Amino acid sequence: MNEKPWYEMRNGRAPRLWLALPEGNLLISWETIRKIRATPDFLNLVFECEYGIITICSAEPLRELYEMMQMEMVRKIDGIRLTVKLAEITAS
């Protein structure tokens, strides 16, 4: 079993990031992921995508996930094992 709540790509890059949530699953295009940021302690990651603003919170630092997202090498994030919030962006 994977100890981390995310799964890395071993070779190449996936065109979409799979975000598993208790209420369903999202496939997020890497082309729409932007403004990735983390708190200084890496306990919170935030990014924007076509679904809105995703906030990921953890009791353990997410620095490795942050670095893997920088290289677009994350295949899946298990949002069931992390606290994930989705804030939809409303069109103005």
Domains of the chain, residue spans: 6-82
Look at the block and give the residue holding tokens 């100890």: 3
pLDDT in tens, 6-25: 999 888 778 899 999 999 99
For residues 12 and 63, what is the distance between their CA atoms, to the nearest angstrom? 21
Pick the CATH number of 6-82 from 2.30.30, 2.60.40, 2.30.29, 2.20.28: 2.30.29
Q: What is the DSSP letter of 68?
A: H
pLDDT in tens, 77-87: 999 999 999 99
pLDDT in tens, 46-62: 999 999 999 999 999 99
- The helix (H) or strand (E) run that includes residue 35 is strand 34-38
Note if the pTM is more than 0.85: yes
What per-residue confidence (pLDDT) applies to 13? 79
Residue 71 and residue 12 in contact, taking contact as beta carbons nearer than 8 Å = no
Put residue 77 in one of left, alpha, beta given phi > 0 → left and psi -120 to 50 → alpha.
beta
